[in-house]
Structure 1
Amino acid sequence: MEAIVALLVFAIMATGSIAGITSALKMIAESRYRQAAHNLASQDIDRMRAVPELADMKSLEYDVTLDGTTFVVDRSIGWETPHIGPVLPDDGSGSSASGCPRVAVETTRYVSVEVTVTWTGMSPLGGAVTSKTLIGANDTIDSPGTGSIIVETYNAVGEHLAASSVTATIEPAPVPGEPEPPAGTPRTVPGQCSVITDLAPGDYTVSLSALGAHLTPTHEVAPTQTVTVTAGHSITTRFVYDDRIWIKAVARQPSTGAPWGALMASDMKLAVIGPDNTTLYDLADEIPVHPSARGYQIVAGGGETCRAADPDEWTVAQKRYPAVPVTGPSNAPEVSYQGWGVDLANLAGIATITAQDPAGLCSPLTFVRADPTQPREPLFMPFGTWDVRYGTRCDSFTFGPTGAGPVKRCTT
């Protein structure tokens, strides 16, 4: 029995010793790998310091194998200048760091180099090895007597777009009174973050185009900016440009919230009210918009002088539906809009019905009936006062979120 107990004690002590030795060997190996990773990061930064031109420094990821262990070196290159203000995302709740130069009169730029090294079997406790530095140019980025344009493009949350998704074209801007723009060859560069150097002083047009369907916050498909280049200085053009998102536009009854099953005017506009502007769209079940955390509202009707475009602008303000956030490609929300219905009778033989506001400020509405033989037809009407003409009859209706007013005969 004593021999068995002694053997058990010995086994326990031996197991602990083996575990301790194994742990120590792992720590030694991890320390060796980590030192090798630090060396690789330092060597990569030294390579970048040896590059004569800042514009030739590129982001890169590559593998290095040392003593059977594979190390992954990930180099990230970004432009830096004195920070003069954040790029705010759409909702205004924060800021985004820029990988492009900021607007500044200085023409000397700095490149930030960040090298991250990982390796096979890396301990999750220690993490990757990262080394950072700034590398400055020996002189200005432009030739004497020229300037440069910096193009920055961000998505709706203040992040740079993928370099392959957007293209910027820089060409001399037209001169007022001149039939043709001045001589010059358009220069096309990636629109994500580019510096176009050695430009002769003068006005230039910077235009964006994208592989996919992109929109600006004001729903421009191909935005442009005109800038003036001066010798020895840089000027930045900053765009916000993102993939469009489709929202579902649904007409609902103000009293019950149920969808309307009424005939819509074929030429009715939908006013899409966003954080940056109001955009008019033709009547449709789905509408493309720029992503916005602050969201969108839709009002039936439209026109800059048409009060139907926004009930909040009526003499007696009415409340519209709250804004619906639109934040990602998978988010295709329903954005409801209100209106009122009128059920017209004695329509047999009438194929077209028209509606016009008495003041003539709103565009006329045209209702085309699918079956003119039917004696009745419900119509969907935007809020406001409308003279509805059908056949030889004209009735005046007033609609608001709280209900419809009494029917009157048209005064004109």
Structure 2
Amino acid sequence: MNIFRSLCRRLSPAARDETGLTLIEILVAMTIFAIISVGVALGVTASLVNVRDAQDRETAVNLAASQIDLVRSVDDIFTVNDLPQSKTIVVGGVTFRVDRKTNWVTNSSTTAACGADAGGNTLRYKRVNVSVSWDGMRNTDVPAMADTILAPNSRINDPTKGTILVHVIGANGSGMPGVAVNAVPTTGVSGNTAAALTVTPAATDVQGCSYILKVTPGTYDVTISKSGYISSDQSLNSATTTVGVVAGASASAGFQFDNAGLFTTNFAVNAPASPPVLLPSNLDVSYLNSYGIYVAKATTGVAKLHPFADGYTMLAGKYVDPTLPSGGCASVDPLAWPSTVVAGVTYAGQRPAPVAAAPGAAPPAAARVPMGVVTVALDVTKGKSLNAVSQATAPGTGDPGCAVGVTYSFTLTTTGNYTIALPYGSWKLYQATTTTGTTNQVGTSGMTPVNTKVVLTGSNVITFDPRGPVS
């Protein structure tokens, strides 16, 4: 307080003399002035920002209202859908972004994608929400918003007819536009009252929706199609589901359909480059992921698969769920083999790394799938077809078993040594003149394992064991 009294005395007319102010007093005065100036500047700035934000919000509200007026003027409300991306509008040097979301409301007052639900409700009206945000908005969580509901200009629900609501989504769960839609009466259904459509349904809109109105009650096959696209059950170019249409109600047909991922697989990657390994001509490959199991014939080219985000684990051979009542085939899955401990070292099977691809694209690298590899001496005079027959069990080998009988065939050309690859599990080898023959069994005494753990048992059974040291 003494310094402030001293400063006041110095500044008063009576106290003025030629001694002036000390440096400390000048610094204190400048500090006080700076504090007051900063406070005033901040207040003015905040006021200007609030004024500008209020002006921008008023502009945003007007833009939202104008967008609502536009959708209200549309004759066909089926054409009013979500905006595929934000619409930008520049007003007074400020960029505003307009977004629109729509949902059908059914007679149960519920909303769902395309109005589809399992309750068989009918479409009543469409709810439209418009939100507008802008650059520099103070509260980014509170855009300007406007809502409305749109009622059809004409009756879309006929009490004597039904409606089919088609919804197509991509691998990421978003609507898939531009997919062709059709529906035909299901054949082979006794007493089916369905009738051929008189108008071709529209392709799916930006939300992945298509609406088949005033459909004669009965059972229909609803098909979607688009070249190069594939469904979640691996149906390429088109997919079909069957729905029942009831008078005065709606039926839902939902699909997951997207541009196919382009997968390649390298088999028997544990085999050396030379001599070249021979693969079965009819080898299966199993694609595993959290959505299920898909088995197809192996190809050295590109396999088109649904682009699930978590990708696929590829296994050589035909994997069948071992929990099925009829029994399965788990031998081809390294993870199904029980771990063992030998001399303090744990041996266990490990699946190949999963591989994922974006829609319409290839993964960064091909899938790498190891197999059982062995070199065997063969005499083509005993047959030019080498057939490997899977064994249901192989006691003492650790093989989890394969209750599903599988035969893989190799084509032989000359007498000599062949390095062949087979899925993990237990096999008997035969030479014959056909791809199914079991005329001449091949003994295991002349077989040489190649980078593979092999167990040779009685009756000339060879077991390819995928387990390796993990600790």
TM-score by length of 1: 0.73
Match of 1:311 among 321, 331, 336: 331
2:220 maps to amino acid: Y
Match of 1:395 among 439, 442, 448: 442
1:162 maps to amino acid: M
Match of 2:98 among 73, 82, 90: 73
Aligned residue for 2:147?
133
Aligned length in residues = 384
Counterparts in 2 of 1:278 and 1:395: CA distance versus 1, 3 Å: same
Q: Percent identity?
A: 20
The C-alpha deviation readout for 1:231-271, integer Å capped at 9, x for no partner, is: 21100001122333244433348xxxx34552212232223
Aligned residue for 2:14?
none
Aligned residue for 2:407?
363
- Say which is worse superposed, 294-303 or 263-272, in terms of deviation: 294-303
Q: What is the DSSP-based 3-state SS (H/G/I as helix, E as strand, rest coil) of the residue aligned with 1:241?
A: strand
What are the residue-to-residue correspondences of 1:210-229 with 2, within 5 Å?
A: 210-211=226-227, 213-221=228-236, 222-229=238-245
Match of 2:180 among 159, 163, 167: 167
Counterparts in 2 of 1:367 and 1:270: CA distance versus 1, 3 Å: farther
C-alpha deviation, 1:291, in angstroms: 3.3
Match of 2:124 among 100, 109, 118: 109
Q: Is the 8 Å Cα contact of residues 147 and 198 (structure 1) preserved in structure 2?
A: yes
Counterparts in 2 of 1:299 and 1:24: CA distance versus 1, 3 Å: closer
Counterparts in 2 of 1:332 and 1:169: CA distance versus 1, 3 Å: farther
2:351 maps to amino acid: P
C-alpha deviation, 1:69, in angstroms: 4.9
Counterparts in 2 of 1:9 and 1:292: CA distance versus 1, 3 Å: closer
Counterpart-to-counterpart distance in 1, 2:368 and 2:305: 15
Aligned residue for 1:377?
418
Counterpart-to-counterpart distance in 1, 2:350 and 2:61: 57
Aligned residue for 1:404?
455
Counterpart-to-counterpart distance in 2, 1:242 and 1:132: 33
Aligned residue for 2:61?
38
Counterparts in 2 of 1:320 and 1:151: CA distance versus 1, 3 Å: farther
C-alpha deviation, 1:365, in angstroms: 0.3
Aligned residue for 1:284?
300
Counterparts in 2 of 1:294 and 1:45: CA distance versus 1, 3 Å: same
C-alpha deviation, 1:352, in angstroms: 3.9
Aligned residue for 1:240?
256
The C-alpha deviation readout for 1:60-95, integer Å capped at 9, x for no partner, is: 56565655655443323233446989xxxxxxxxxx
The C-alpha deviation readout for 1:266-322, integer Å capped at 9, x for no partner, is: 2322233443233222343653332345654444334989999641799x9668643
Q: Is the 8 Å Cα contact of residues 156 and 240 (structure 1) preserved in structure 2?
A: yes
The C-alpha deviation readout for 1:188-213, integer Å capped at 9, x for no partner, is: 423311222122222222111124x3
Q: What is the DSSP-based 3-state SS (H/G/I as helix, E as strand, rest coil) of the residue aligned with 1:131?
A: strand
Q: What is the DSSP-based 3-state SS (H/G/I as helix, E as strand, rest coil) of the residue aligned with 2:137?
A: coil
Q: Is the 8 Å Cα contact of residues 54 and 111 (structure 1) preserved in structure 2?
A: yes
Counterparts in 2 of 1:323 and 1:108: CA distance versus 1, 3 Å: farther
Q: What is the DSSP-based 3-state SS (H/G/I as helix, E as strand, rest coil) of the residue aligned with 2:407?
A: coil
C-alpha deviation, 1:111, in angstroms: 2.3
Counterpart-to-counterpart distance in 2, 1:37 and 1:49: 19
Q: What is the DSSP-based 3-state SS (H/G/I as helix, E as strand, rest coil) of the residue aligned with 1:40?
A: helix
Q: Is the 8 Å Cα contact of residues 100 and 194 (structure 1) preserved in structure 2?
A: no
1:365 maps to amino acid: S
TM-score by length of 2: 0.65
C-alpha deviation, 1:149, in angstroms: 0.6
Counterparts in 2 of 1:285 and 1:403: CA distance versus 1, 3 Å: farther
Counterparts in 2 of 1:368 and 1:20: CA distance versus 1, 3 Å: farther
Q: Gaps (5+ residues) in structure 2?
A: 1-19, 339-347, 392-403, 434-438, 462-471
Aligned residue for 2:137?
123
Q: Is the 8 Å Cα contact of residues 263 and 357 (structure 2) preserved in structure 1?
A: no
Counterpart-to-counterpart distance in 2, 1:48 and 1:107: 22
Counterparts in 2 of 1:323 and 1:111: CA distance versus 1, 3 Å: farther
Counterpart-to-counterpart distance in 2, 1:68 and 1:218: 50
The C-alpha deviation readout for 1:19-52, integer Å capped at 9, x for no partner, is: 5423322221111211221233234335545656
The C-alpha deviation readout for 1:308-349, integer Å capped at 9, x for no partner, is: 9641799x9668643754444164565454432221236599
C-alpha deviation, 1:131, in angstroms: 1.9
Counterparts in 2 of 1:146 and 1:24: CA distance versus 1, 3 Å: same
C-alpha deviation, 1:395, in angstroms: 0.7
Counterpart-to-counterpart distance in 2, 1:344 and 1:2: 107
The C-alpha deviation readout for 1:92-147, integer Å capped at 9, x for no partner, is: xxxxx84643233321334232212134x433544662425362647863234221
2:186 maps to amino acid: A
1:387 maps to amino acid: L
Aligned residue for 2:16?
none
Counterpart-to-counterpart distance in 1, 2:171 and 2:81: 26
